[in-house]
Amino acid sequence: MKVQRNFSFRNWAANIEATIPYYYQPDTEEQLIAIIKQHTKVRMVGTGHSWSALCPSQEALINLDAYNKVLALDKNAKTITVQAGIKLWQLNEYLDSQGMAMTNLGSIAKQSIAGAISTGTHGSGINYQVLASLALSFTLIKADGSKITLDKVKDTETFQLALISLGSLGLISEMTLSISDAFRLHDHTSVVDYDDMLRDLDSYIRHTDHFKIWWFPHVDKAVLYQYNRTQEAANDSRLRQWLMDEVLSVVVYRTLVFIGNIFPSLRPVFNKLLVRSFEKPLDRIEKSYKVFNVPAPPVHRETEWAFDIKDATAVLAAYKNMIDRSSHKINFIQEIRFVKGDSFALSPAYQRDSVWVGCYLIGDRGWPELLSDFEKLARSFKGRPHWGKEFTIDTAYLSAQYPQFGAFIALRREFDPSGKFDNKMISELF
């Protein structure tokens, strides 16, 4: 087991930094139980891909990079059991080699499965829930070092309370997930007027397996991604992938961002140019996980809130209106996704089909003002923030949005009476 003293923690976005007295990377369950018993304050970190201050710990931080094995695969039952430190990309590669796939994914695959599930990470598609819905059972090491396994069918009530827990109930050590036979996605990407998108929104959402929208602010157009599941052969060209995913999306885009940071007034012009690069519709078929995951985004600031799908058109119209009338100059996409409602107590999509609206900005200049304006709008529509992204903690507001907030706090008292898994953010929240 690797142990480091006074470890310098920094999250992916570099907006959270902390010195952690003890940092552990255990190889076995015995080791991780011993660490939890030994310390009075413990937090877990997956790959640090959260913007919010979930991971810093006053005393011990556990990372499961070395605890990432596949324990069992059952192709007939379509299940996989893994140690909780496995990364989504490792799952994708392993499952692909076995003719299987993750049923749904978000935009990147860097995260650990435990980290992704613990914050309610999601993809897009109105018939698909947050990734936590793929969990069939999981093992949790509680504050006293005892171990429980919660099963979706046998322990439904506790399972639904405990699955999305921001690492505040204990350490998830193993998980069994539901998976699919390998499939491909037919990706049709096109550009339409923003107002036409709003008019036809319901139809796009209902008639596409995985539908999402990118809006480049200051442009009256929307980029529509329509992914439909297929068993047809892949036909995407490697040259196109290299040109679009590496040259345009990374090299050209970052150069424009760099220039736009020096001359912010040029950002609207650059956004128009970028939308033009999407104007020729794309029609391709590729392996599912390669379509779900997008090219590496530049480091940026991000908040994302889930709203009742019934308010989708109103929220999207109000958001565009708010930006158009403001002095914000935004240099990044705003992402709009859709998920089916679920029953997990702390899921932002709890009991409501949801539209997710992501407000993103590259660079810190102007971010506090943009975040504040976005949050005002989001609260007026009773939005629920993504736990892994940036948001202002207001317990009264949050508890009003989550009918099971009190039940979750009661479970925390039972599982972790001394507050071992607290840090500043967790204490403020619960």
Ligand X SMILES: Cc1cc2nc3c(=O)[nH]c(=O)nc-3n(C[C@H](O)[C@H](O)[C@H](O)COP(=O)(O)OP(=O)(O)OC[C@H]3O[C@@H](n4cnc5c(N)ncnc54)[C@H](O)[C@@H]3O)c2cc1C
Q: Which residues bind ligand X (CB under 6 A)?
A: 12, 43-50, 54-55, 64, 84, 106-108, 111-112, 114-116, 118-119, 121-122, 166-167, 171-172, 297, 386, 388
Beta bridge partners of 190: 224
Selection from 338, 358, 374, 314 nearest residue 216 by Cα: 358
Which is closer to ligand X, CB of 50 or CB of 226?
50
Quote the least distance from Cβ 423 to ligand X, whole Å: 9
* Residues near 85 by beta carbon (within 8 Å), at least 6 away in sequence: 46, 63, 64, 65, 66, 67, 68, 112, 114
Quote the least distance from Cβ 300 to ligand X, whole Å: 8
Beta bridge partners of 44: 62
Rounded CA separation 211/223 (Å): 11
* Residues near 43 by beta carbon (within 8 Å), at least 6 away in sequence: 54, 55, 56, 57, 60, 61, 62, 167, 421, 423
Which tokens sit at 197?
């998108």
Which is closer to ligand X, CB of 155 or CB of 269?
155
Contact yes or no for 270/349 (Cβ under 8 A) = no
Which is closer to ligand X, CB of 29 or CB of 196?
29
Beta-strand runs (E) in 143-196: 147-151, 171-178, 180-181, 184-193
Quote the least distance from Cβ 166 to ligand X, whole Å: 4
Which is closer to ligand X, CB of 268 or CB of 363?
363
Other CB atoms within a 10 A radius of the CB of residue 81 amount to 18
Quote the least distance from Cβ 269 to ligand X, whole Å: 26
Quote the least distance from Cβ 193 to ligand X, whole Å: 26
CA angle 299, 304, 305 (to 5 degrees): 175
Other CB atoms within a 10 A radius of the CB of residue 230 amount to 15
Which is closer to ligand X, CB of 111 or CB of 129?
111
Which is closer to ligand X, CB of 27 or CB of 266?
27
Quote the least distance from Cβ 265 to ligand X, whole Å: 27
Quote the least distance from Cβ 331 to ligand X, whole Å: 16
Which is closer to ligand X, CB of 138 or CB of 319?
138
